[in-house]
Chains A and B, each alone.
Chain A
């Protein structure tokens, strides 16, 4: 075993220098033991590809704005590109961050999508298409994808219940808008609200106990 004369300690692991004072060691390496594995630096492929994606997004935005500014166009069409790229990037970030829990992911995407739709509608003249068609469509899409994920993954109630309840609860926003008379076209909101109420009723009737216990868990004070 090696020995550090200054610290007066024996060194058990195969070090070239004293771990305490970085001084030179005497003695040979016999009797040294490797106590830990050699770990080469793990690099994350996902992180690398995400950086490339982010860079491509920035590239596309800059090129479009530059072209728009340099060439004689009548409109600032590049603003649409900017907003589109920003939305796509945001959706990807959420998808990656929440990739470990697909139902939570779906819930996040639903909320984000609704905010984005309303902002787009508002920025392009507030014709109410986001409320008339956008919100109900997003709710139905989220609900259907959740039901598919639950079936395919054979999930059990502690895994899915709270997200399903959140989705159906959120899905009642179109109903509120409908009742308040804020909509021009009413049938999409009627369909989506009906879907949510049916799903809520089904789980409330067939799995009432689970609904109750999941709510208690998630809302305990």
Chain B
């Protein structure tokens, strides 16, 4: 009776604080990684793999609780359970007042799905977890072929390093600058899907084909596809809107600029906007603009300057002593009532690498996320480049324009789709 227990807890890092305040039915702030195998998933082996995997990432065994001033994560004994996929992709994971895990592993047919609440970690942290999960699964399912050691997929980091708040660590580096570009952007005004619904259109391309197009222009794949995305939106500008700027929010993995092995959120973003006034439909102009913009903005100094702003807000003593409910209301209003947001979002997870011994069993990886606008998520495995659009609009013009630009260049694409009306798309 009345047992006393010690639990570990940690506060939410800077970028994570925004998620509990702003996740709601419109955008649950949940993202999903998918690994498609070449064979049906064995549920028993997947549960075994998850049990092993969570031991490597004890920091993900936690629940989100409210304090008087801030939220915090508290460690928990709840064991994650594997289930067959049973609900809409990227639907609610964080239920207020309910002490439940903030990630979920499901399977359907040949696909292993792992959904995460964004406050828990970012794409990089989730991918580290997911790779270990898939690796453990293949070891369980094919012990003869996939032998290990598990260390080949594990991060070379201590538990403390994985739990580090890297925002805190690098906070001092930034200086206040005034030339961070911000835009009054063109906004899509299409009819929305039913409140809280999401549409998914995923395309698989050949990495080689897409890369050769980028190389011909002397840029990276990310630069090339960002330009294609901007042009896909620009094609929908009415003549009188031509003077509006089309802008994309591009999340950036800060670990590329600030050495960190943290599995917590450590990302920021840049906003890239292009003025299409007088544009003649030429992709190359946009490509060279994007290439130059990325080169200028994606540096350690420029990213440090971007982080500085919000860190200053969080460290403001007046903000700190505001009760949590008021803070969350302020954050919610701040993020939702801003007159000019970006037009759309482009998240690039990058190349997913698995040990060679796994390749006979793996078809491809995919990633996508809940969104209040249109969001493109990209990752690649082997020669399969996966481009997933999620959208809260009924209309699919942006997606159509995007893939048509690519197929017009001679790149072959294979499309799969999910929408609330069609469910699994069964005939």
Q: Does B321 contact A (CB under 8 A)?
A: yes
Closest residue to A207 on the B side, CB-wise?
B4
Q: Does A101 contact B (CB under 8 A)?
A: yes
Which range holds the interface residue count of chain A?
35 or more
* 12 pairs of residues in contact across A and B, judged by CB atoms under 8 Å: A7-B400, A7-B407, A9-B415, A37-B84, A38-B426, A98-B97, A101-B98, A151-B1, A158-B74, A159-B99, A160-B2, A209-B4
Closest residue to B72 on the A side, CB-wise?
A217
Q: Does B9 contact A (CB under 8 A)?
A: yes
Q: Which residues of A contact B417 (CB under 8 A)?
A: 11, 13, 15, 19
CB interface residues, A 15-48, toward B, < 8 Å:
15-16, 18-22, 29, 33-40, 42
* B201 interface neighbour in A10, A19, A104, A206, Cβ under 8 Å: A19
B425 touches A39 (CB 8 A): no
Q: Which residues of A contact B407 (CB under 8 A)?
A: 7-9
Q: Does B305 contact A (CB under 8 A)?
A: no
Q: Which residues of A contact B11 (CB under 8 A)?
A: 220
B425 touches A14 (CB 8 A): yes
| Minimal beta-carbon separation of B412 from chain A (angstroms) | 8
| Minimal beta-carbon separation of B156 from chain A (angstroms) | 31
B109 touches A35 (CB 8 A): yes
Q: Does A213 contact B (CB under 8 A)?
A: yes
Q: Which residues of A contact B399 (CB under 8 A)?
A: 19-20
| Minimal beta-carbon separation of A33 from chain B (angstroms) | 7
Q: Which residues of A contact B88 (CB under 8 A)?
A: 39
Q: Which residues of B contact A210 (CB under 8 A)?
A: 4-6
Would you give the 0/1 interface string for B28-62, flagging 1 where the beta carbon is closer than 8 Å to chain A?
A: 00000000000000000000000000000000000
B418 touches A20 (CB 8 A): no
A14/B426 contact (C-beta < 8 A), A20-B400, A35-B109 known: yes
| Minimal beta-carbon separation of B11 from chain A (angstroms) | 6
Known: A7-B400, A35-B108. 18 other contacts (CB 8 A): A7-B404, A13-B418, A15-B422, A15-B425, A20-B404, A22-B396, A33-B109, A34-B109, A35-B111, A36-B89, A37-B424, A39-B86, A100-B99, A101-B98, A101-B99, A158-B7, A160-B2, A219-B68
Q: Which residues of A contact B3 (CB under 8 A)?
A: 154-157
* A11 interface neighbour in B65, B98, B415, B424, Cβ under 8 Å: B415
A156/B201 contact (C-beta < 8 A), A7-B400, A219-B68 known: no
B→A interface (CB under 8 Å): 1-7, 9, 11, 65, 67-70, 72, 74, 84-89, 95-99, 108-109, 111, 201, 203-204, 320-321, 396, 399-400, 403-404, 407-408, 412-419, 422-427
A220 touches B424 (CB 8 A): no
Q: Which residues of B contact A10 (CB under 8 A)?
A: 412-415
Most chain A CB within 10 A, of B3, B86, B89, B109, is at B3
A37/B108 contact (C-beta < 8 A), A15-B417, A207-B4, A220-B67 known: yes
* B413 interface neighbour in A9, A21, A29, A155, Cβ under 8 Å: A9
Interface SS of A by simple majority: loop
Q: How far is the CA of A38 from the CA of B423 in the complex (A)?
A: 5
Q: Does A137 contact B (CB under 8 A)?
A: no
| Minimal beta-carbon separation of A159 from chain B (angstroms) | 8
Q: Which residues of B contact A37 (CB under 8 A)?
A: 84-86, 108, 423-424
Closest residue to B75 on the A side, CB-wise?
A158
8 closest A-B pairs by beta carbon, nearest first, are A19-B417, A156-B5, A20-B400, A100-B98, A36-B424, A8-B407, A12-B416, A218-B67
Q: Which residues of A contact B95 (CB under 8 A)?
A: 100
Most chain A CB within 10 A, of B9, B413, B417, is at B417
Q: How far is the CA of A52 from the CA of B74 in the complex (A)?
A: 38
| Minimal beta-carbon separation of A109 from chain B (angstroms) | 14
A36 touches B2 (CB 8 A): no
A20 touches B85 (CB 8 A): no
Q: Does A59 contact B (CB under 8 A)?
A: no
